[in-house]
Amino acid sequence: MRNIFSPIKKLINIEFVNKIDISDVTFSVFDTETTGLNYNNGDKIISVSGVKVQNFQIDTEGKLDEFCDPMIEITPENEQIHHISNRMVRGKPNIYDLETKFRGFFKRSVLVAHNVKFDCNFLISNLSHTKLESRIREAVKLDTVLFSAGVYPDLKSYELSALCDELNITHHDQLRHSSLGDSIITARLFIHLLKKSKVQNIKEILNISKFGQKVLLNKTINN
């Protein structure tokens, strides 16, 4: 496997990435589960998981799958969504204790998530003043919501399960709203989009995603 990135603490220059064939890029496809939706209002990460994708294949052997003790209560309402209870996270490492492990997983890769801004903002907020915070800020990040909208602009919904149903992507074998299950499903969706779009490099994905952003904006305005 080619080592195409210097340590990701430096911003990956898009002109450099554009020279690299998509099959040589390592993608870290990840997901977080949280105590709520508002990181600015004190909500915390309770699990982080991820898998690697390279050359259109998912590698689960080196997967990331960690619970974090948020040091605050998980409400019954949120537990109903992700099925993570206070008992499951109590006594687990706090997120700062896992920072080195997370940094090792994301190293030398492009970050991918379904609504990547949400997950990255939580990591940045919950891991402030760490090396990982700065590396996530600087990393190339791809959003499968925007990528999907760019490749399939006429769909009614870009919610993860709805997309997989529409595109015949297997997902019922994974637990939805678990960080590992959603990471695997997102990786399958991402590979589908890579093949369908026939992109050659990261810049092409970013251009399609920009178009996808316009698609979603137009749908919002028209609704």
Q: What are the C-alpha distances in Å from 180 to residues 101, 111, 115, 187, 194?
A: 16, 15, 15, 11, 21
Give pLDDT, residue 19: 74
**Domains (ranges, CATH) in the chain?**
22-222 (3.30.420.10)
- Token duo for residue 47: 């699990």
Give pLDDT, residue 16: 63
Burial of 63 (0-12, 13-18, 19+ CB in 10 A): middle
pTM of the model: 0.92
Tens digit of pLDDT for each residue in 16-56?
A: 667 789 999 999 999 999 999 999 999 999 999 999 999 99
Question: CB–CB of 27/110 below 8 Å?
Answer: yes
- Cα–chain center distance at 213: 17
Give pLDDT, residue 176: 85
Give pLDDT, residue 222: 80
Which amino acid, one-letter code, is at 109?
A: S
Give pLDDT, residue 9: 37
pLDDT (tens digit, 0 to 9) for every residue of the chain, 223 residues total?
Answer: 344 333 333 445 556 667 789 999 999 999 999 999 999 999 999 999 999 999 999 998 889 999 999 999 999 999 999 999 999 999 999 999 999 999 999 998 999 999 999 999 999 999 999 999 999 999 999 999 999 999 999 999 999 999 999 999 999 999 888 999 999 999 999 999 999 999 999 999 999 999 999 999 998 888 7
Question: 108 has which bridge partners?
Answer: none
